[in-house]
Amino acid sequence: MVGIGLGFGVPFLLSVVMIATSGDLSLLILPLPFLLGLWVIQGLAPAGFRLEPDGLRIERRWLSRLIPYRLIRSVDREPRALGGFGAAGINGLFGSQGPRWNPRTGWHYLAITNTTDLVYVHTVAGLVVLSPSRPDEFAARLREKLRAFSA
């Protein structure tokens, strides 16, 4: 909620103050770019993770992503260094998402809403980090799917 207050509330209050002092109603549009930014970020934020018949789906409000089981090598819950330089990623109010790089882990893709319940999915394209609500159960079910798919 603090992020929404800073991202939209502060520009909105600033526009109200500027209108009150100048009388120029065109200043009402000041918070619109910030509101648009929040809307885009929430639309691309990870909303859930689902194991489908074809692969692992990263659910988002827009542009969900399917990782086919044939491209997944393994899955684990071993903690490791994450984050670092966010090449094209977004951090903030709705989680962390997008590609990252740091010297210890190298390139990895984050689709997380918290930093404690992480599942590490090793794919042919690199590491994908997820944060399902029940990580141990999710990792076990994904391992079963991978065994069944490779058999």
Q: In order along the chain (151 residues), what is the average pLDDT of each group of 10 residues?
A: 58 77 77 77 83 94 91 94 62 73 86 89 94 95 92 70
Same domain, 66 and 21: no
Residues 53 and 19 in one domain: no
What one-letter code names the amino acid at 68? P
Q: How many domains does the chain have?
A: 2
Same domain, 66 and 129: yes
Let me know: does 117 contact 132? Beta carbons within 8 Å. yes
Model pLDDT, residue 1? 47
Asked if 64 and 24 sit in the same domain, the reply is: no
Q: What is the pLDDT of residue 77?
A: 95
Same domain, yes or no, for 18 and 87? no
Domain that holds residue 27: 2-42
Q: What is the pLDDT of residue 134?
A: 95
**C-alpha to C-alpha distance for 123 and 141, rounded to whole angstroms:** 17
- Indicate the pTM of the whole model: 0.74
pLDDT at 138: 97
Residues 19 and 80 in one domain: no
